Every structure is written in C-alpha cells, then in structure tokens.
Amino acid sequence: MAALTDVDQLNEKLAKAELTRLAKDMAQADVAYHQKDAPEISDAEYDTLKQRNLLIESRFPNLRRKDSPTDKTGAPVSSGFSKVKHAVAMMSLGNAFTDEDVIEFDSRIRKFLNVDRDKPLEYTSEPKIDGLSLSLRYEQGILVQAATRGDGETGEDVTANALTITDIPPKIQTPLDILEVRGEVYMAHTDFAALNESQMKNENKLFANPRNAAAGSLRQLDSQITKSRPLKFFAYAWGQVSEPLAETQSAVLARLTALGFSVNPLAATCANPAELIQHYNSIELARASLGYDIDGVVYKVSNLGLQSRLGFRTNTPRWAIAHKFPAELASTIVEDIEIQVGRTGALSPVARLKSVTVGGVVVSNATLHNEDYIKGLDSKGAPIRGGHDIRIGDWVTIYRAGDVIPKVKGVDISRRPDWAVPFEFPEKCPQCGSDAIREEGEAVARCSGGLICPAQAVEKLKHFVSRAAFDIDGMGSKQIESFYKDGWIAHPADIFELQGLYGSSNLQQLKNREGWGAKSAERLFAAIDDKRNIPMNRLIFALGIRHVGESTALTLSRHYNDWETFNVAMKNSFEHSGVDWEVLNGIDGVGTVMAAALVDYFNEPKMSAALNRLVVLLNVQNVAVPSIQGSTVAGKKVVFTGTLEKMTRAEAKARAEGLGAKVSGSVSAKTDIVIAGPGAGSKRKKAEDLGIKIVSEDEWLTLIG
Ligand code: IVH
C-alpha cells in the first residue's frame, strides 16, 4: 500500500504539479505511439503513468485537469467507427399488440391534450420497416454525417458507408442550414437471398435474416464492401432542423420525397382508431408481397404542433406507437428444463428446445417464467394453456415477440410420450445449495444464498457490464464467467482494478490467457478505462437494484443532479422516514416498494462498502436535463396542486419536465414553486407554512413563457 500512502501525503500543490507532468508525458507518449508509430516508452511504463494519474485524481478530484489523460483511451473505438453524439436523441417506440391497445393510445392522447371524442384528431399510419435506423445530417444541403442509432444518445459514424447507398442523396436542394433526415436502412428479400447465396459459395457465414444482413453490411469497416451490398433507405423522420419542415407528418413526408428521398408508398392519413386498424389490416395482407420485411405499422399524431405538446416519455414519444404484427409460431420438443439463477437470486426455469427457426432466427431456448407457469397456472392460480403442465419430452408451440427471449404458447398433450413426468421444481438453489424460498404471494422462488451464491455474483457482474449499464467493449458474459472463475473479479470495483494499481503485471497475465493476445488485452483495459467516466444514470442502473430499471435510473439522476446528493439522500432515508425519504417517494415514477429497495441497498453495510470502493475508481458524470435552453425553471422543484384550467395535469407536468423542472407530488422544504389552482388544499397550506413561492396557473405560464 506504499503508493496509496504516498499519494495521501501529497499536498495539493505537489499533486497539481505531478498531474501536469503526467499529462505532458502521456500526451508525448500518445503522439509517439499513435501518430509516429514509434513508441518512446514501454506499455508497462505507460500503464504505470496512467494508474498514478488516476490514483492522484481519485484523491484530489478537484484537481482533475480538463485534458485529463484518464479521459483519453488512446485506443481506437473497438468497433472501428468513431462515436457520434446525436444532436437530438434517437428515440424508440412504445408497442401496441391489440386493437384495444390502439384505442387506448388514442384515448391517452385525447386525455393528455383534452380533446373530446367527437373532435377530429388526425394520424398518419406507416409501415414499420424492419431494418436499422440511420440519421443523415445535411449542412447547407451537403451530407456531412451519417450515424447509426447506437444507444439513442450516441451512435457510430458510418458516413462513408451511407454514401454508397443509392437511396441516400449526397446533396439536396434545401434552404435549411441544418437538416437531419432519419429513416431505416433495409435489404430487399431478393437481394438478401442473392447475398446469402454468394456468402455460401465463398464459404462465408450466412445472415439469419435481411435485418442482420443490412446491419452487417452497413457496419463494414471497408466501405467498398458496403457498396457491393444492395442496401436501401426509407426516410420517415427527422432530428435537428434549423427551421420547421412543415406542419404535419404527411407534409414532412411529401417534402422529403421532393428532396429526393424514398418514402414508403403505403403511408396513409387516418381520422380515428377504426381507420388506423383498417389500415393496419390492409398492410398485414400486403406484407408477404412487399418484397422487404416490416414488423408492424407506426401510428403518429399528424399535427407537429400537437406532437411537440405531447412530447416524450424517457425514451419514447407520446405521439407515436408501433402496432406490431403477431409473432410467428413454431413447434418443437422440450429436451430439458434447466433452472437459471438470476442476479437477484430468482430461480428461472428455461426450456432447452430442439432447435427450430422462428421468424428467420434459430431458437433453442424458451423462458418458462416460474413454477406455476410450468404447472399451467397464471399468477392468480387460474389455469393457462387449458391447465396443461409442461414436461420434458413435450411438443410445444413457441413464439418470439420482438427481440425478446422466446415464449411457450401451448403444449400438445396428444403427442406427450408415456415416459414424461411432471417437472419437480427444486427446493434448493442448483448453484450454491442454499434454500430456495418462495415468499407468500410471490410467483418467484429465490435463492437465499445472497453474496455466497456464485451464480448471483456472476449475474450481477454481467448486468453491470451490459449494454445499458457500463457497456464495456470486450467484456461480455464469457469473459465475466472466466474472470470470476479464476478469482480475478468478484465485485464491480474489481473490474476497474483488474489492470493492477501499480503496473501491468495483470496485463502480462491476461495476454497469456487462452484466447487473449497483446492487442485484445490492451484493448480490454483501454475499454475499461474508457468507462471510468460514467453517466450517473448508467451507474445507478448497473447496480442492479431490484425494481430500478433504466428509466427510473434516469429519473433519479435528473432529480438529484449529482452522485453525492443522491448518495446522501439515500443514506439519510435509512429509517424510511424524514424529509429525504418523502422527497424520494414524491418523485413521479418512484413507488414505496422501489424507494425501499433503493434505500435498503444504500444502507446495507456490505453493499455500501462495495459501492464506495467502486465510486472512487470512477468519475460519475451528472446527466443533463434535456432542452433547457432559455428555461427559467430548469432545475427547480415544482409541485402542481388543485385544478388546472389551461391544460391537463399530464401536459403541465410533461411541459415542466421538458423545461428541466423536477415535478414532485409532495411539498417539502426543498420545493421551489407550488402551482396552485382552484381547490388546492393541504399542499398549498404546507407551502404557505414553509414560506414557499406559490403561483397561479397563469403566473406559471407567464414564468415559463
Ligand atoms: S418513427 C421518435 N417510423 O422502429 C421515434 N420508426 O421500434 C421515431 N421504424 O427506432 C421513429 N419504421 O428504427 C418510425 N415508419 C417508421 C418506422 C420506424 C421503422 C423503426 C425505427 C425505430 C424503431 C422503433
């Protein structure tokens, strides 16, 4: 521990000087290595400098330099494409599966906007192209950048490849300084078949479906390969624009057509849910003869003014929905039933199936959910699948809905072999032997082994590095399992110490592991270093706290603004009471069960020790609240109470949040503004007592402009 003590004893002045020197030395080494291809120091020496720098930064976070070497990985982005931050996030869509879902979509919108049922509300209905989305940025009419969706915030720069697609014009005639056109890259059925044929001839890997073929072709490092693949593009949306494009969705589509883009010819305008459903049915009938894959129909509120009033939930628009086609079915045999142990200890049965193709994808597993599901009972004990249980040896029908793991729809009792016996759900965790406990009223049995259960530990680590969490390139399930097995990592913090604090002995070891070489080992360490800068929402999600998903993690990050404030608030709430506890429970989308799970996690001694160890190795970044330019209420905590007369409560809340305000359901000392309409009662009284600013709805509207 000599180095730690040494750093602890550094005073600020010395630390600052050392950080300056380290930045200079490392910048010089970077130039020598990356630009001149003539390294001046060994990799091991470079690692030592880097770790020293990191150690000082973790002790003196206020001295961290703007050009800190920690922020530079030096290594190329693993995929080989540079990253692009989208000027306007690329959202996904909520799903509808039934006619009722469509009717409800329309009702929700009417309720939000306060538009009566007898008043017209126009929609567009467009085929949902099954490809991959692409954002094309034109500046002064010239295509300057094409980016994939990525995680919605950041995608990959595939400009050179996009320029090889004939449907994508390199230049357009437009008065707009900036125009981002968005749409779907896809491959037609005939082109897909021809590509696979040539893949087969050349003994190359076959693509599972046209979507994979399109994705694989667009993400080629050599754009000549992309050029040889017949990709197509349909435009249907836009990102950043220097001026509004039109007043309605259909007018935008017409304008995109006039600019030279391909727009799907089957788009239609519809006046009500019945017409939407009718259009959906007609497209479903045409589906087989279209010549390209679609997986549903997208409905959008046509008027763009209404679209902007409706705005977005965390990552889906309120003004659009995807009405998906029913999933394809296939029959196969259950060869085995295995029990998997999840990160929260949940025992999940999985059917191992004789491989079968469903919707172009080979399937060999299906989820069986829980003990009751296998028995043929739903969560309330009512029979499902005609009350038939599922046994090893049974013939089952399976389906895939979206990209999710396949499910079992039914079981064919007539084909059940004589030897098939009812499945006995285990009473012990198959991984660690601890009791499997199924609590009263719970559908799921859980391993009671906690931290001693290796399966839980491994699953927690897998979740930690997963795409929506730390997303560490080169660190997937396989690597986690093997590093865990060898005792290299047991907790998330170990990942960031994997490289060794004092040099690169672990690099040597990693290089020597089977399947690893110098390049891949260095790349992995660079990828890990790259993620030391982590947005707060990703960190919260990565912890794998029960009930806390991606969207809540984002809400919490925006609400508490920085890690320290959040951490303190969770610690202060340890007794499930007090001001911070009330504030937490008042956050929209946070219920008592979730609040309790969060607070208990932060106050469980082992968890909190592991968390503290992790956080000092990271640089947790605050998450910007969206679109707050010119906002007078950004960051303010506001509460609406009483009746609002100018807009619905939902719209008021969405608008306030869009301007960066934090809307809460309860008044506390931390509240900045209470908007009180007629009939406001106890919340208004509490605000008066606490001396909080109270405004009317009109005053609020003036305030937000
Ligand atoms: S609109 C704000 N329209 O579906 C959302 N998306 O599941 C803008 N997609 O990521 C998307 N066809 O890649 C829209 N006509 C269409 C579409 C479409 C396919 C894809 C798109 C999106 C995904 C959401």
* Statement: residue 10 has pLDDT above 90: no
DSSP state of 426: P
DSSP state of 450: G
* Statement: residue 16 has pLDDT above 70: yes
**Is the same domain home to 257 and 388?**
no
Name every protein residue with a CB atom under 6 angstroms from any ligand 1 atom: 91-93, 126, 128-129, 133, 184, 236-237, 298, 317, 320, 322
Question: For ligand 1, what atom is nearest to the CA of residue 312?
Answer: 2
- Contacts of residue 134, defined as CB under 8 A and 6 or more positions apart, other chains included, come to 146, 147, 148, 149, 158, 162, 182, 183, 184, 185, 218, 233
d(CA 204, CA 208): 13
**Is the same domain home to 200 and 103?**
yes
Question: Ligand 1 center to residue 588 CA distance, Å?
Answer: 27
Are residues 138 and 675 in contact, defined by beta-carbon separation less than 8 angstroms?
Answer: no
pLDDT tens per residue across span 59-102: 788 888 888 877 664 433 335 788 899 999 999 999 999 999 99
pLDDT tens per residue across span 427-441: 999 999 999 999 888
Of 187-191, 311-315, 461-465, 574-578, the one with minimum mean pLDDT is: 311-315
Of residues 131, 101, 128, the one with CA closest to residue 295 = 128
Tell me which of 365, 400, 415 is where a domain ends.
415
What is the residue with the minimal CA distance to atom 22 of ligand 1? 92
Question: Binning pLDDT at 50, 70 and 90, where does residue 313 land?
Answer: confident
Provide the residue type at 271 as one letter. Answer: A
Of residues 435, 452, 360, 352, the one with CA closest to residue 392 = 352
Q: Can you tell me which residue has the tokens 């506890």?
A: 581
- CATH number, domain of 562, equals 1.10.150.20
Residue 452 has a pLDDT of 87
Q: Which of 125, 232, 236, 299 to mutate to test the pocket of ligand 1 (most atoms within 8 A of CB)?
A: 236
Residue 650 has a pLDDT of 85
Provide the residue type at 98 as one letter. Answer: T
Catalytic residue among 66, 111, 128, 686: 128
Residue 572 has a pLDDT of 96
Confirm whether 144 is domain-assigned. Answer: yes
Residue 232 has a pLDDT of 98
**Is the same domain home to 109 and 258?**
yes
Confirm whether 421 is domain-assigned. Answer: no
Confirm whether 444 is domain-assigned. Answer: no
**Residue 254 region by backbone torsions, left for phi larger than 0, else alpha for psi between -120 and 50, else beta:** alpha
Question: Ligand 1 center to residue 148 CA distance, Å?
Answer: 13
**Is the same domain home to 40 and 130?**
no
pTM: 0.64
- CATH number, domain of 131, equals 3.30.470.30
Of residues 74, 64, 60, the one with CA closest to residue 30 = 74
Confirm whether 626 is domain-assigned. Answer: no
Question: Which domain covers residue 192, as residue numbers?
Answer: 94-322
**Is the same domain home to 337 and 478?**
no
Question: For ligand 1, what atom is nearest to the CA of residue 133?
Answer: 13
Question: For ligand 1, what atom is nearest to the CA of residue 127?
Answer: 15
Residue 326 has a pLDDT of 85
Count of alpha carbons within 13 Å of 646, Cβ hemisphere only? Answer: 15
Question: Ligand 1 center to residue 128 CA distance, Å?
Answer: 6
DSSP state of 590: -
Residue 256 has a pLDDT of 97
Confirm whether 629 is domain-assigned. Answer: no
**Residue 515 region by backbone torsions, left for phi larger than 0, else alpha for psi between -120 and 50, else beta:** left
Are residues 431 and 421 in contact, defined by beta-carbon separation less than 8 angstroms?
Answer: no
Count of alpha carbons within 13 Å of 574, Cβ hemisphere only? Answer: 9
**Is the same domain home to 249 and 226?**
yes
pLDDT tens per residue across span 95-154: 999 999 999 999 999 999 999 988 999 999 999 999 999 999 999 999 999 999 988 888
Residue 403 has a pLDDT of 55
d(CA 314, CA 272): 26
Confirm whether 653 is domain-assigned. Answer: yes
* Statement: residue 212 has pLDDT above 80: yes
d(CA 159, CA 505): 40
Number of domains in the chain: 6
**Is the same domain home to 337 and 312?**
no
* Statement: residue 604 has pLDDT above 50: yes
pLDDT tens per residue across span 501-540: 434 566 677 777 777 778 888 889 899 999 999 999 999 9
Confirm whether 503 is domain-assigned. Answer: yes
Give the Cβ contact number of residue 355 at 10 Å: 11
Tell me which of 271, 292, 322 is where a domain ends.
322
Confirm whether 86 is domain-assigned. Answer: no
Q: Which of 184, 241, 294 to mutate to test the pocket of ligand 1 (most atoms within 8 A of CB)?
A: 184
Residue 426 has a pLDDT of 96
Question: Binning pLDDT at 50, 70 and 90, where does residue 625 land?
Answer: low
User: Any bridge partners for residue 620, and if so which?
Assistant: 534
Question: Binning pLDDT at 50, 70 and 90, where does residue 659 land?
Answer: confident
Sign of CA dihedral 555, 557, 560, 566: positive
Question: Binning pLDDT at 50, 70 and 90, where does residue 457 land?
Answer: very high
pLDDT tens per residue across span 392-430: 999 999 987 655 678 898 999 999 999 999 999 999 999
Are residues 175 and 163 in contact, defined by beta-carbon separation less than 8 angstroms?
Answer: no
User: Any bridge partners for residue 269, and if so which?
Assistant: 124
Question: For ligand 1, what atom is nearest to the CA of residue 300?
Answer: 1
**Is the same domain home to 100 and 216?**
yes
Share of the chain above pLDDT 90, in %: 64
Residue 24 has a pLDDT of 87
**Is the same domain home to 481 and 595?**
no
Share of the chain above pLDDT 70, in %: 93
Of 6-15, 83-92, 314-323, 359-368, the one with minimum mean pLDDT is: 6-15
Alpha helices by DSSP H, 287-322: 304-310
Letter string b/e over residues 311-338, b meaning 16 or more CB atoms within 10 A of that residue's CB: bbeebbbbbbbbbbbebeebebbbeebe
Average pLDDT over residues 265-278: 97
Residue 180 phi, psi dihedral angles, 5° rounding: -100, 115
Helices 579-586 & 563-572 angle (0-180, nearest 10): 110
Of residues 590, 598, 577, the one with CA closest to residue 665 = 590
Radius of gyration of the chain (CA): 28
* Statement: residue 629 has pLDDT above 80: no
**Is the same domain home to 610 and 578?**
yes
Question: Ligand 1 center to residue 130 CA distance, Å?
Answer: 9
**Is the same domain home to 187 and 311?**
yes
3-state DSSP call for residue 96?
A: strand
Of residues 277, 315, 273, 275, the one with CA closest to residue 296 = 277
**Is the same domain home to 596 and 665?**
no
Question: Ligand 1 center to residue 93 CA distance, Å?
Answer: 7
pLDDT tens per residue across span 220-260: 988 999 999 999 999 999 999 999 999 999 999 999 999 99
* Statement: residue 42 has pLDDT above 70: no
- CATH number, domain of 398, equals 2.40.50.140
Residue 128 annotated in active site: yes
Question: Ligand 1 center to residue 487 CA distance, Å?
Answer: 44
* Statement: residue 627 has pLDDT above 60: no
Q: Considering all CA atoms of the chain, what is the largest pairwise distance in Å, rounded to the nearest integer?
A: 81
